[in-house]
Amino acid sequence: MREPKERPVVGIFCDEQEERWGNRGWRTRYSVHSTYVAAVRAARALPVLLPPLLEEIESYLRLADGLLLVGGRDIPPRYYGGGRADDSKLVSEARIEFELELARRAVERDLPLLGICLGCQVLNVALGGTLHEDLSLSGKRFQAHDGAGLSYPLTHPIRLELDSELAKRLGKEQIEVNSFHHQAALDPAAPLKVAARAEDGVIEAIEHPQRAFVLGVQWHPEESPEDEVTHALFGGLVEAARKRMI
């Protein structure tokens, strides 16, 4: 007889990369930044990495009490009706097919889910939403959002929708967030609701009001482990996952 779990299991989506190992040929590497793992552990959950294997989705859904969709490169535009894109900036077909399908099924089953940056975009596209392909190509309408190549942290304020679950969870009307993205949700999927925007109107958070905890944020809370907002977000995911265990 199996012992009951002491901690909820949070499945963390992995990136995949092809690497050449000398004379042993090409190998696939599955990886994720340690900051995501650390954030899940700090919230008192057990992190388990989920390689992008479509045939294992049902097993993953039975294993995990919650899911964390992490950051990464761009979603191929054909998945949301976009135009042409630089192939070198796109996530692999295997990863995006896996993430979209797992996100869809997780939402259907009310499995707690937190999407970060690309993960927020995956959540939106999985449920039928669209994306800004590149905010920097939209003229002067948008402020700088992509701080990935800067020598200093790029931050900006965002305003929370007062009737959102996110605002209730954080107890704030405005917060300061880091910014490492050049894409963002454009048209939210029908079941999702905008929970926060930047001052220029860019969507910074989306949520599913009919689910226990389905939230996507455009910034990277895992990069600020001491921040109370980070604690609230990962704590909310793990709290919802723990309730699912009972």
pLDDT tens digits, 142-157: 566 556 666 557 788 9
In a domain, 128, yes or no: yes
Catalytic-labelled residue, pool 165, 207, 222, 239: 222
Domain that holds residue 174: 9-245
Catalytic-labelled residue, pool 132, 156, 182, 220: 220
Mind giving me the DSSP string for the chain? Answer: -PPPPSS-EEEEE-EEEEEE-GGG-EEEEEE--HHHHHHHHHTT-EEEEE---GGGHHHHHHH-SEEEE---SBPPGGGTT-----GGGBPPHHHHHHHHHHHHHHHHTT--EEEETHHHHHHHHHTT--EES-GGGSTTSS---B-TT-SS--EEEEEE-TTSHHHHHHT-SEEEEE-B-S-EESS--TT-EEEEEETTS-EEEEE-TTSSSEEEESS-GGG-TT-HHHHHHHHHHHHHHHHHH-
Instruction: State yes or no: pLDDT of 95 exceeds 70.
Output: yes
Instruction: Judge whether 208 counts as a catalytic residue.
Output: no
Instruction: Judge whether 220 counts as a catalytic residue.
Output: yes
In a domain, 13, yes or no: yes
What's the whole-number mean pLDDT along residues 31-54? 97
pLDDT, greater one: 1 or 8: 8
In a domain, 23, yes or no: yes
Instruction: Judge whether 97 counts as a catalytic residue.
Output: no
In a domain, 220, yes or no: yes
In a domain, 4, yes or no: no
pTM of the model: 0.92
CATH assignment of the domain containing 101? 3.40.50.880
Please provide the average confidence, as pLDDT, over all residues in the chain: 90
Catalytic-labelled residue, pool 117, 132, 181, 204: 117
In a domain, 1, yes or no: no
What's the whole-number mean pLDDT along residues 94-107? 97
Domain total in the chain: 1
In a domain, 158, yes or no: yes
In a domain, 101, yes or no: yes
